[in-house]
Amino acid sequence: MSKRLSICLVLSLLAVGFACAQNNTKAATQNTWQVAGLFSMHYQLPRDEGEYDEEGVFTLDVEPQILWFPIDGLGLGVETDLYYLNGHFKDMELAIGPRLTYYLRRSERQRQLLPYVGCSFQSLMNDLDPGAVEMGWSLKLGVGISPAVGGHLTVPVELGYLVHHLESEYGSISYSNTSSRIYLECGVGAFLWRKDRR
């Protein structure tokens, strides 16, 4: 159910982006900026299977980012990641790190849809308990499109692969965990540039 809802939301944003996509000649060009926020959410329904039951789990992932373009198409910047989980326990993670994105913008169609490849490496902290020390990192590699809507706005959608590593210490007990997953995120962004002087 939650996967279907998420897919419907992403497809709706894509449909709006494709319908409104405009040729944006200034987006992702030298000395422009991009400010964006991507998000994903998931709800796992509770299960009751006799002796085995599981509470419902809600997760929310919000990722603001800011990029500067030193040359056409190449964006360098910072991405933060706020992850929240609420289920049989509550968990919150905060991560920050560098972001690199390259936009393809050679043809007119590419300047409308703004396809891109991006990667980020983040250092993260996890606060489960005041007595616990939890640190780690995450690495993301993704591809996406960011259709231009109006003069400055975009509707980014990204599909990618995430590797997540966490090391925890609680008193004399320590453990580490590495996991990976495929992610699909969508959001809203804007390209900013100075007006041409006349």
The residues near 94 (Cβ < 8 Å, ≥ 6 apart) are 80, 81, 82, 83, 124, 125, 127
3-state DSSP assignment of residue 152: coil
Question: What pLDDT band is residue 127 in, cutting at 50, 70 and 90?
Answer: low
The residues near 108 (Cβ < 8 Å, ≥ 6 apart) are 23
| For the chain, percent of residues with pLDDT exceeding 70 | 76
Terminal Cα distance for the chain, rounded: 55
pLDDT at 26: 76
Question: What pLDDT band is residue 120 in, cutting at 50, 70 and 90?
Answer: very high
Question: Distance (Å, rounded) from C-alpha 194 to C-alpha 11?
Answer: 33
Q: How is residue 12 written in tokens?
A: 């709706």
| Burial degree of 175 (CB within 10 A; 0-12, 13-18, 19+) | exposed
Domains of the chain: 2-192 (2.40.160.20)
pLDDT at 69: 95
pLDDT tens for each residue of 83-113: 888 877 777 888 999 999 999 877 776 677 8
Q: Which range, of 10-14, 34-38, 78-82, 175-179, averages the lowest pLDDT? A: 10-14
Could you tell me the pTM of the whole model?
0.77
Q: How far is CA 163 from the centre of its chain?
A: 13
Looking at the predicted structure, is the pLDDT value of residue 144 above 90? yes
pLDDT at 151: 75
3-state DSSP assignment of residue 113: helix
3 or 114: which leads in pLDDT: 114
CB atoms within 10 A of CB 98: 12
Q: How is residue 66 written in tokens?
A: 């800011």
